[in-house]
Chains A and B, each alone.
Chain A
Amino acid sequence: MRFMLMTSNDPSVEMTPPNPEMYAAMGKLIEEMTRAGVLLTTGGLEQTPTRVKSFKGKIEIMDGPFTEAKEAVVGFALIEAKSREEAIEFSKRFWQVAGDGQGRIYEVFGPQ
């Protein structure tokens, strides 16, 4: 089973700002998850995305920055786990390193 672990930038829980120790610990965690054969890929996302709106056949493109501070996805890790519980365990390990913040865990389907 594949899961997408996302960290989001939710104004209600301010993220712990990264520091050198966190970077080092995160590097170790990523290495460990790679070694466990679990981590498929990981990445971060820009915070000024292009927005696309499709409505009644009209596609509208909106460039940021946007003023309203809605939660946005900051980073993701795609993992291969045996179960949702296992994905949750890896997420816990991530947050033990990352400190404060908020995230989501989605199962990924396909290509089927």
Chain B
Amino acid sequence: MAANSDIHRTVDAVWRIESARLIASLTRLVRDVGLAEDLAQGALVAALEQWPQTGIPDKPGAWLLVTARHRAVDQIRRNVRLERKTEQMGRDLELEQELAVSKLDLDSPEDMGDDLLRLIFISCHPILPKAARLALTLRLLGGLTTDEIARAFLVPEPTIAQRIVRAKRTLSEARIPFEAPVGPERASRLSSVLEVLYLVFNEGYSATSGDEWMRPALCADALRLGRGLAELIPNEPEVHGLVALMEIQASRLHARIGPAGEAIPLLEQNRGRWDQLLIQRGFAALIRAEAIGGALGPYRLQAAIAACHAQARNPEDTNWERISALYDALVQVAPSPIVELNRAVAIGMAFGPAAGLEIVDTLISEPSLKSYHLLPGVRGDLLAKLGRFNEACEEFKQAAELTRNVRERELLLGRIATIVK
């Protein structure tokens, strides 16, 4: 018999694989995400108690589901006895029927898929604050523990626990139906889902501090959820766009951090360290998006930009004209000062520093960029290319003051030193 700790690790792995489907399936049964999760957790505890004696069942997922369902029925019966609600009685009967049907064959993959999709939509429901959507999605769909989520987001565990409890209560009190939205609501609900996944990804990707092990894991979690979503709703081009964007960005995970932990800018990265498998997967996802067609959304456009970089064997082979055109389109569908700043960089590379500077100068008074170090950083770079060295130095100084990253400050001060020489 395996040691207890081995069983624990195996149960953890099983939980990671099965929990989302388990909770999704239970939510359909009990119509309450919070209760469903409690039931699933109860089944997990039972597994931890029983499996060390009985061994791990052949189909651990099915075992957990059957165990949790029995508990669901028990609980509903108890409630009915206590409250005698006719509505609940009806639910009880339905439940019995459902159980009778599902005894022979557990849910078909199609039903499972539908339930999972509903669970994704409900976890990312706009009624919840953004931070709560992230936590709930990682918890219910990623199978992460509260502790893991807390470590990943660098916040105390009770904060995350409370966030999740509140989110579940909000969903329950608002009686949010367990349904995948259709009609006009669908697009905005889907964009909330995509936003949550991309925020999770970026939380891992832009990590400059914190638990080194957990944060890149967030990229993996977001990718895993995104890839799964693309299979659940294969006809949404933006889902493939987001997957493509994450795959291609993740391909640079190792190349973007130097030996001293410093961030290495895209154009200075060793492209041999880019993960070609992920790049290929990213391209494949983009092709799937293109095959569906439709208007170009912000994720597809960003993925297309990322693909341009991935395609260039050397930085000087980068197709900046195409990147500029893609930024022109991106600024139309998702306007933001940061996108505009990136567009300025691309245009500066494609059509010369003066053209880039013209755009950057329109952003100087932009309040949201007031303390953004990359604004003076980019402006300084363009000025230096134009030979306006004194002005460039002023910009680099300002950028060095604004950045919180020590390595970046050193690089900026280094640029000033070269100019002064």
Which residue numbers of A lie inside 8 Å of B, CB to CB?
Answer: 28, 31-32, 34-38, 40-41, 78, 80, 82-83, 85-86, 88-90, 96, 111-112
Instruction: Say if the beta carbon of B228 comes within 8 Å of chain A.
Output: yes
Cα A96 to Cα B352 with chains together (Å): 61
Residues of B within 8 A of A89 (CB): 10, 13-14, 17, 60
Interface presence of B101 (CB below 8 A): no
Q: Which residues of A contact B14 (CB under 8 A)?
A: 89
B370 adjacent to chain A (CB < 8 Å): no
Q: Is the pair A96, B13 in contact by a Cβ cutoff of 8 Å?
A: no
Which listed residue, B12, B58, B226, B275, touches A83 by the CB 8 Å rule?
Answer: B12
Contact A83 B9 (CB under 8 A): yes
CB-based nearest B residue for A86: B13
B16 at interface by CB-CB < 8 Å? yes
- Cα A40 to Cα B227 with chains together (Å): 10
Given A34-B227, A37-B224, A40-B281, A88 contacting B58 (CB threshold 8 A):
no
State the CA gap A90–B60 with chains docked (Å).
12
Q: List 14 A-B contacts (CB under 8 A).
A: A28-B109, A34-B231, A35-B113, A35-B232, A37-B224, A37-B225, A37-B227, A38-B224, A40-B281, A80-B223, A82-B16, A86-B13, A111-B272, A112-B254
Q: Which of A35, A80, A112 has the most CB of B within 10 A?
A: A35
Q: Cβ of B274 < 8 Å from any Cβ of A?
A: yes
Give chain B residues whose Cβ lies under 8 Å from the Cβ of A96: 58
B276 to A, closest residue via Cβ: A111
Q: Is B277 positioned at the interface, with any CB of A under 8 Å from its CB?
A: yes
Instruction: Give every chain A residue within 8 A of B227 (Cβ-Cβ).
Output: 34, 37
Count residues of chain B with CB under 8 A from any CB of chain A.
29
Find chain A residues with CB under 8 A from B17 CB. 36, 86, 89-90
Would you call A83 and B109 a contact (CB within 8 A)? no
List 10 additional contacts besides A40-B277, A86-B17, A111-B275; criterion CB under 8 Å. A36-B224, A37-B226, A80-B220, A82-B16, A83-B9, A85-B9, A86-B13, A111-B254, A111-B272, A111-B273
Which residue of chain A lies nearest to B144 when distances are taken between CB atoms in the complex? A82
Contacting pair A85 B12 (CB below 8 A): yes
8 Å CB contacts to A: which residues of B215-242? 217, 220, 223-228, 231-232
Complex: A70 Cα to B17 Cα, angstroms: 35
Given contacts A37-B228, A89-B10, contact A111 B281 (CB under 8 A): no
Q: In the docked arrangement, what's the CA distance between A95 and B276, Å?
A: 29
Nearest-CB distance from A85 to chain B (Å)? 4
Give the contacting residue for A85; candidates B13, B217, B254; CB below 8 A.
B13
How far, in whole Å, are A41 and B276 apart by their CA atoms in the complex?
13
Q: Please, which residues of chain B bring their CB within 8 A of the CB of A78? A: 277
Complex Cα gap A32–B108 (Å): 12
Are A85 and B109 interface neighbours, CB within 8 A?
Answer: no
